[in-house]
Structures are given as C-alpha cells and as structure tokens.
A and B are shown apart, each in its own frame.
Chain A
Amino acid sequence: MGSTSAQNPENDGSTAGVGRRDLIKRSAALGLISVPTMSFLSACASGGGDDNGNDSEGETSKSNPFGVKDGSKLDVVIFKGGYGDDYAKAWEASFKKKWGVTSVHTGTQEITGKLQPRFNAGNPPDIVDDSGAQQIPIDVLYKNGQLVDLAEVLDAPSVDDPAKKVRDTLIPGTLDAGMQGGKVVALNYIYTVWGLWYSGKLFKEKGWTAPKTWDEFLTICKEAKADGIGGLAHQGKYPYYINVAIMDLIAKTGGLDAMKAIDNLEPNAFVGSEAATAAVEAIYEVVEKGYLMPGTNGLTHTESQTRWNQYKAAFITSGSWLENEQLKTTPDDFDMKFLPMPLLPDSKLPFEAIRAGSGEPFIIPSKAKNLAGAKEFMRMMLSKEWSTLFAKEANSLTILKDGVDSGVQLRPGTQSTVEASKAAGTNTFRYLYTEWYSEMGTAIENASNELMAKRIQPKEWLKRAQAAVDKQAKDPESKKNHRD
C-alpha cells in the first residue's frame, strides 16, 4: 500500500501524529464496537411522554354505548400476513359510513418494529391486530399495563341483537386465549382448529381411510413408507408444529386435567404423567420406525407443506390457516381434509375432540387516543355483517357463532373444519401456556426438535419439558395465571 502520506514524516505537527492508515484502522475499530450493538441500542433509547388527551369522546347513547365522536380519527394497525388486510379496509369503509370516523390504516408485518417505539413513547395506535412472527407478545404488553380490559366491549349490547351481550354471541371458550391475569385483554378473532391434514385424493388412490386410532395411523404411515413416500411431515424448522401433535395427544389421552396440569405449571405436568409419557412415546415411535418424511426436520413451513401438496407425505400437522397459506401450491383436485389427532388406547377424550380456539389477537392499547372509537370498532367486528366481510376477503371463520351468511361458499379444507367442529361439539380444548409463558413454550419446542432428530429419548424430553415448567413456576408473575 504505497501511499503518499507514508513518504512524509507523520509528525510534522499539522496531522498531530495520525496517519491515514491509523485513521482507517481506528475508525474500523470504532465500527467494530458500534455496529453489532447499534441497531439494538436505538431500540432501547426511550421517549418519555404520557399524554391522555380525551378529545375524542362524544355523547353516549343506547346505540352508541361508548360515545363515538363524529369526525374523529381512528388509528388502525393490521398484521398483513396470510389473511391480507383487505378485510380491514372493507371494515374501515363501513365504519366511516356509519360513524363518520376516518381511519388511518397501516397494514404491516413488522408489528414489533413499528409499534414498540410507539408503546414506549406512550403514543400507541387505537386498535391493533397484534399477530404474526413479529407480534409483541400479549403477556409482555399486559405486564406493562398497556392493554385495555375488554370487558366493557364484551358486555355491551350486540350490534345484531341489542337484547344480547356481545359476549353471548360468540363461540364458547374462544375468549380464553386472550385472558391474562383473569381479564380478557386480547380479542382472538379468527376461529382456528388444529390437528392433522391429509389429501382426500391421495387417500382414495391408496385405498386408505382416515385413521381413528394411533395403530391405524401407524399402519398408514407404514404403507406410505413402503410406497416410497413419508408418513408424517412436519415443519421442522419451526418446532411449534410438531408440538401441536404432541400436546394434542397428551390432552386427548389424559383429558382436560392433563392439559390444565401443564397450563397451571404443576410439578407432575410431564414427569410422572402417564398421558404425557404415552403421548411422547407414541410420537417417538413414528421417528424411530422411520415414518417421518425424509428431511422434514430441517424444512421450513412452506417447504414441507409444499412437499405434502406434492403427495410426498400422507399427513402433516397444522392449524386451519393451512389451506389459505397453501392456496397457490395446492393442486385443484387435492381435496384437503382435516383430521382430529387419532387416539391412543384408553384415551379420556373421544376421537372427535379437537384443539380449537381463536387466534389473531386484536388489542386496544390503554393509552389509545380514541378509546371510544376503538371499542365501537371492536363491537362491530363482532357483527354478522363484518364477520361475513372477513370470511369473504380472508377465507376463514371468525369467533362469532354462525358468523357467515349462508351464501358464502367455503373451500374443501375449511368445509372439513366446519364439519369437524360440529362433530366435536363441546369436546374442544385449548392450551394457554403458549400465550402465558413464551419462554417455557420455546424451551419445550427446543426439546421437541431434539426428540424428532433422535438426539434425545422420550424420557429426556419429559425431563426437559418438566424443567421448563418448574422454571416458569418459580417466576412470581406466573401466580396470576390460573385456569380451573
């Protein structure tokens, strides 16, 4: 590096001893310090401020229970994921027509990136669809006192039938997922069922019938393997999905008590629980006998689901967003079908029992500027008109009972979930630990990932899952969450 500066003596006074190379090196060293931490630090830097101007409140009346003010503004942030955000735009247009409230619409995938600074600065939006990979965890927001208790909305008269409370027009149990410390602080709007999925076409071709017991399930896996395809596929890069299968088996085998033991962080939730032991051993049998689709442990959700769409595996685990997510890769004659988890011997719940519940949490920040508008917006979300708008635009069901006009035609997968929900009746269950304890959920998912890769055995999995539960139980905050 023959540079001209090297030819002059460096200490001629004017450069104060800093040669060009030194300068480069020093700035490089500074870069070394600042680059990795910079982006993080900028997130840390806080704004203060906490103003609660209530200039958006109008008169209350029977048809306007929260006092929405004509001409006010509503700041709406929607997670623009698998469901898009067209449904929300349709709602906003309808909202403006009815109340004269203009909405400021933001559709984004970066919920945390866009909203965390606003929550910290005390300047959050009025209503948020807090979902997706970058959602701000509800438990974290709740612990920070950032969420409105939604009881007021739920106890208000329903738009469709003012004689009824909003709460009574919803599918029972769907509010549970939004509970924190005994209060409903998030409205999980979309009705979802979880379990296994298969292709009606593939099953017809192979002459298989949908299995009801674990033995039948293993038989089909065995035949699939003999035919050169995988038995069970899962979205290995995200162990959340295989946990759906494991946890469903635990709940169906041990009944609701086994599920509650986990949510309530009991010392025998996993270790010493017969249901958990049987369930994990059953899943491990699939791994041990080589019934997994080859390579599935390392695939992303789209990769493995697409393989399944190509008939490379008989079953896959997922929730009912699967059909909408795979619209483009599913062959027309695929005939997607939902299947409740098959039963192990001596199960406490019937085969028809399914994990069902609500997802896609909508929240109202406690420091929202237009609280009245946000509450009314949420009340209208739970009307038949808006629920139908949602089904049309986003291809999914909402938590409103009979919430879709009969004119709307459903796709085969969605149709099969409707039938499964009907067959299940009141036999539905839903874990809450994933909403309450993100850290414990992650630890169990890690263990499941190791189990599927055969790096640990069922006994070790139980130990690790129990350790995660015990660790969470030590956190004094966890005392506030309990379900009976």
Chain B
Amino acid sequence: MRKGQYRFVAGFLFAPVAIYVTFVIWPYIQTFGYSLTDWKGQSQTFNFVGLDNYTALFQDDVFMGAIWHNILFLIFIPVSTILIALFFAFMLNAGGRSRSGGVSGVAGSKYYRVVYFFPQVLSLAIMAVLFGAVYRSDGGGMLNGLLIKLGLVSETSPVEWLNEPNIVLWALLVVVVWHGVGFYLVLFSAAMQSIPRDIYEAALIDGAGRAQSFFRITLPLLWDSVQTAWVYLGIAAMDMFILVSTMTSGDFGGGPDHHSEVMATVMMRNFQLYGRSGYACAMGVVMLVLTLIVSVFTLRATRRERIEF
C-alpha cells in the first residue's frame, strides 16, 4: 500500500464511524447503564440497584415465555420461508418440462414471479390490517366465513384465531412467511439464473430428475444466498414487534394471556406502560446478547466450502 493511503482511508471513515459511535454504540452503553438502575422513564432521577433487574428478569415468567416464542419464530420462520421460496424459485427457473434445448421454468413463470412479489410491497402495518380481516373472529372474517360456508365450523362458535393460545403463534407465522416468500423467491431466482445452464444440461444428459438436479446442483450452488436469507429472516424473527403488537390483544399485544408475547412487546409494555424503564433496559441488554449469540451461531453453523464457478 502506498504511503499516505491509510490516512486517506481513515479520513473517509471518520464521519461514518463517528455517527455510528454516537447513535449506535453510545446508546448501547447508556442502555446498559440504565439497566442497573430503577429508572422510571419520565425524568432523570433514579437509583443504582446493581444487578437486581437482571435477577428479576430471569424470574419473570412473561419474559421467559417471550424468549421461547422468539426462539420458536427463529426456527420456524427461516425454515419455512426458505423452503417455500426455494421450491418456488426452482419451479420458476428449472422446474419446467424438459423440452428440446435445455432447462426452463414452468409455464407462466414470468407472471408468477411478479405475483409472488406483491406481498413484499405491502408495509407491515397494512399486512396487519389485511390479516386482521382474514383472522377476524366472527363470521365476517375471511377464514371463518369460508369455514362456516363449508359447514366445518358452526356459526355460533367461530374460531377465534388470534385468541386461541395454541393457534395464535402459528397464525402470526403464516403472515410473516406469506410476506417474506416473494422477496426470497426473487433473491434465489437471481442466484439460480447465474448458475451456468450447461451444468443442468450435463445433469439432464446423465439422466438426473428434477429432485436430483435440485439437491445435487441448485442447493449447493445457492448456499451463499440461503445463508444471507437466514440471517435476514433471523432479524424478522427476533423482532416481530409490529405484527404482535398490532394483531394480538392487550397493550402492545402479546395476548391472549401472554401466549403470543415476544421480547420486544414485553419490553415496550414495561418501558412505557408500567414505567419500569430500568427493568426494560435490562431486557434490551438481554435481547442484544441473545441476538449476538444467534448471529454468530448462524454464520458459524452455515459456513461451508465455497464452490467457484
């Protein structure tokens, strides 16, 4: 490296790093500081309480339940979104009947590609309203209306989708997956298109079926994209605040009876409604540590040998 280049690079980095430290790192440190106090959130008076907030946190059934719900989302959101997106992407790009001259998508694949992307264009707030109508708990809801017409559910006792402890989490999961599939479909499609066709054609000549060419060729060559998708979906799974707080019952959502609670909703309720802001900051710190662990783990666990082509 030429002389002076470091200084040149550092000059460019100074502003972004300063902004990053001021608006990201410093608040983290402040939060940790507040998490050791009994701060009530509406003024700058508080006492130092040591690790009391943290000991209380691990005896808080609501928060511990919320952690489990986040972990559940963390497993099922990426798995189901990626599997469905991969399947659709494969069908759109290489799933068509083999005609003379090579590999192509199913009929109408260009049309589907656009349609699948629609949900991604909607904001989460609109999604919440939309699915509020789908899951509505009386005959006016889309699902209930359908089930009542089909005679599967009686009109006097419709399914209260978001008010059933055993259904609510899955109902939310469907919304996230529905929203995400389109985006990852496009991501995987783009990656698939850059896989050289001759590899598929060679496989075809050797007599490989669709399943074989998917598992032996497509998936290994897409691994980098899948890994990125996993990390991004991890973000959605650790957060979930908007959907849970708008779609489920209770202040900041989480109902019925804490069965759909996630860490962010418990934190906001304690922070704003109960005025236990120091305690909420402790939750924030725990969230930070957990997300750190998750991201490191994700990147480690999915590390594979890279195939160059």
Contact = CB atoms under 8 A, between A and B. Distances in A.
Interface in B282-300: 284, 287-288, 291-292, 294-296, 298-299
Interface residues of A, number: 69
Contacts of B163: 236-237, 297-298, 449, 453
B135 to A, nearest CB: 8
Given A2-B194, A44-B281, A299 B256 contact: no
A144 B256 contact: no
Nearest to B165: A455
Interface in A278-297: 290, 293-297
Contact of B273 (A120, A137, A296): A137
B180 interface: no
A447 B257 CA distance: 7
A298 B134 CA distance: 12
Interface stretch (B11-19, B41-49, B96-104, B108-116): B41-49
Interface residues of B, number: 83
A1 interface: yes
Interface stretch (A24-32, A339-347, A350-358): A24-32
Interface centre among B30, B44, B144 (most CB of A within 10 A): B44
Contacts of B191: 1
Contact of B257 (A136, A137, A297, A450): A450
B228 interface: yes
Given A40-B267, A450-B257, A238 B249 contact: yes
A143 B275 contact: yes
Contacts of B256: 446, 449-450, 453, 455
A295 B224 contact: no
Given A33-B288, A37-B287, A453-B256, A120 B43 contact: yes
Interface string B195-236: 110000000000000000000000000101101100110110
Interface stretch (B50-58, B80-88, B118-126, B154-162): B154-162
Nearest to A141: B42
A295 B194 contact: no
Most buried by A among B43, B135, B164, B256: B43
A298 B231 contact: no
A25 B255 contact: no
Nearest to A112: B272
A307 B225 CA distance: 48
B92 to A, nearest CB: 17
Determine which residue in A41, A293, A298 has the highest number of CB atoms from chain B within 10 A of its CB, and name it.
A298
B274 interface: yes
Interface stretch (A6-14, A163-171, A208-216): A6-14
A140 interface: yes
A45 B24 CA distance: 10
Residue among A1, A7, A21, A449 having the largest count of chain B Cβ atoms under 10 Å: A1
Interface string B245-261: 00001110001111000
B271 interface: yes
A37 B257 contact: no
A26 to B, nearest CB: 8
A294 B275 CA distance: 36
Nearest to B192: A1
Contact of B42 (A2, A24, A48, A136): A136
A137 B275 contact: yes
B235 A1 contact: no
B43 A294 contact: no
B234 A45 contact: no
B42 A438 contact: no
A296 B138 contact: yes
B264 interface: yes
A146 interface: yes
Contact of A44 (B196, B225, B263, B284): B284
A423 interface: no
A18 interface: no
A164 to B, nearest CB: 35
A423 B5 CA distance: 87
A295 B231 contact: no
Contacts of A237: 163, 249, 255
A29 B30 contact: no
Contacts of A112: 272
A449 B249 contact: yes
A298 B235 contact: no
Contacts of A46: 30, 44
B40 interface: yes
A60 interface: no
B232 A298 contact: no
B1 A298 contact: no
B271 A446 contact: no
Contact of A38 (B24, B45, B155, B194): B24
A116 interface: yes
A38 B20 CA distance: 12
Given A29-B299, A137-B275, A236-B137, A36 B232 contact: no
B1 A446 contact: no
A144 B45 contact: yes
A134 B251 CA distance: 10
Nearest to B232: A28
Nearest to B191: A1
25 contacts: A1-B225, A2-B194, A31-B231, A33-B288, A36-B264, A37-B291, A38-B24, A42-B23, A44-B277, A119-B42, A143-B40, A144-B275, A236-B160, A236-B249, A239-B250, A293-B138, A294-B138, A295-B136, A297-B160, A298-B137, A439-B273, A442-B251, A442-B273, A453-B164, A455-B256
Interface of B: 1, 23-24, 26-28, 30-31, 34, 40-45, 132, 135-141, 144, 155-158, 160-165, 191, 194-196, 222, 224-225, 227-228, 231-232, 234-235, 238-239, 241, 249-251, 255-258, 263-264, 267-269, 271-275, 277, 280-281, 284, 287-288, 291-292, 294-296, 298-299, 306, 308-309
- Counting from the closest, the 10 A-B pairs by CB-CB distance are A298-B137, A295-B138, A140-B275, A144-B43, A41-B27, A298-B160, A144-B42, A295-B137, A36-B239, A298-B163
Interface of A: 1-2, 6-7, 13-14, 21, 24-25, 28-29, 31-38, 40-46, 48, 50, 112, 116, 119-120, 122, 133-134, 136-137, 139-141, 143-146, 236-239, 290, 293-300, 303, 307, 438-439, 442, 445-447, 449-450, 453, 455
